[in-house]
Amino acid sequence: MANRPVVIGIAGGSCSGKTSVTRAIYEVFKDHSVVVIEQDYYYKDQGHMSFEERLQTNYDHPLAFDTELLIEHIHTLIERQPIDKPVYDYVQHTRASDVIHVAPKDVIIVEGMLVLEDERLRDLMDIKLFVDTDADLRIIRRMQRDIKERGRTTESIIEQYLTTVRPMHNMFIEPTKRYADVIVPEGGDNGVAIDLMVTKIKTILETESNV
Ligand SMILES: Nc1ncnc2c1ncn2[C@@H]1O[C@H](COP(=O)(O)OP(=O)(O)O)[C@@H](O)[C@H]1O
Ligand SMILES: O=c1ccn([C@@H]2O[C@H](COP(=O)(O)O)[C@@H](O)[C@H]2O)c(=O)[nH]1
């Protein structure tokens, strides 16, 4: 077993396929040892705000996240200590009351739109991925997903996309592509990129000098 866990960052725009790539890697290592930390679960708690106020939040800006807590939790997992991961409720737009107890593992996947935006997060990562999918495909997927899974209407999705999702993507997410070691076109369908990642992770895990 490696001394220091391998930390993998998986960034990319909303609905680019980050979760699909994460799941594909998770499936390979799940019996071995992998933990997934979703940046979305670290949205700031908005329990003190009314539902109407929460609708005004810009969820695509870096300041929407409790990045201090996210960094603290990754440090804790790297030190092979457990964490209580927050849970986020996309329908209520705030943190849920329960937490998930997460044990430390050999592979830590940190997945989220803006995980390459903060230098402190980047510095913790051994491998940085950017999932790159065209904006037209992403908005179609978002339309389908948010109506089905996140309690949204077509009008609210279009309004949010034009006012925050698109401009924040261009301002904060797209520029982080330059920090990626690997750019993955088409996300979860890219079997070659996923195989390469799996091979690389195995190599790091098997390397004795990984301290
Ligand atoms: N290659 C694909 N073709 C069609 N739909 C996809 C594809 N990849 C992902 N999706 C769908 O798009 C939505 C977002 O995918 P997901 O992997 O969760 O992206 P992200 O985590 O980047 O938001 C999901 O509903 C998923 O089922
Ligand atoms: O309360 C919330 C929290 C987030 N969002 C939107 O979610 C996406 C990020 O999720 P992905 O799985 O990466 O698509 C982000 O674009 C936020 O706008 C939200 O609408 N409400």
The per-residue pLDDT string of the chain (211 residues; one tens digit each, 9 = 90 and over) reads 547 899 999 999 999 999 999 999 999 987 768 999 999 999 999 999 999 999 999 999 999 999 999 999 999 999 999 999 999 999 999 999 999 999 999 999 999 999 999 999 999 999 999 999 999 999 999 999 999 999 999 999 999 999 999 999 999 999 999 999 999 998 778 999 999 999 988 888 787 454 4
The answer regarding whether domain 6-209 maps to CATH 3.40.50.1100 reads no
Provide the Cα torsion 61, 62, 63, 65; round to 10°.
110
DSSP 16-40: SSHHHHHHHHHHHHTTT-EEEEEGG
Q: Is 14 in the pocket of ligand 2 (CB under 6 A)?
A: yes
Q: Is 26 exposed, middle or buried (0-12, 13-18, 19+ CB in 10 A)?
A: middle
Distance 23 CA to ligand 1 centre (A): 11
Q: Where are the domains of the chain?
A: 6-209
Pocket residue to mutate for ligand 1, from 10, 15, 36, most atoms within 8 A of Cβ: 15
Identify the pLDDT of residue 211.
45
Q: Is 112 in the pocket of ligand 1 (CB under 6 A)?
A: no
Q: Is 15 in the pocket of ligand 2 (CB under 6 A)?
A: yes
Q: Is 17 in the pocket of ligand 1 (CB under 6 A)?
A: yes
Nearest alpha carbon, ligand 2 atom 6: 59
Structural tokens at position 24: 């594909």
Q: Quick one: which H or E segment has residue 197?
A: helix 191-206
Separation CA 95–CA 97 (nearest Å): 7
Ligand 2 atom having least distance to the Cα of 46:
1
Identify the pLDDT of residue 139.
98
Separation CA 65–CA 53 (nearest Å): 16
ipTM reported for the complex surpasses 0.90: yes
Judged by DSSP in three states, 68 sits in helix
Q: Is 60 in the pocket of ligand 2 (CB under 6 A)?
A: yes
Identify the pLDDT of residue 32.
67
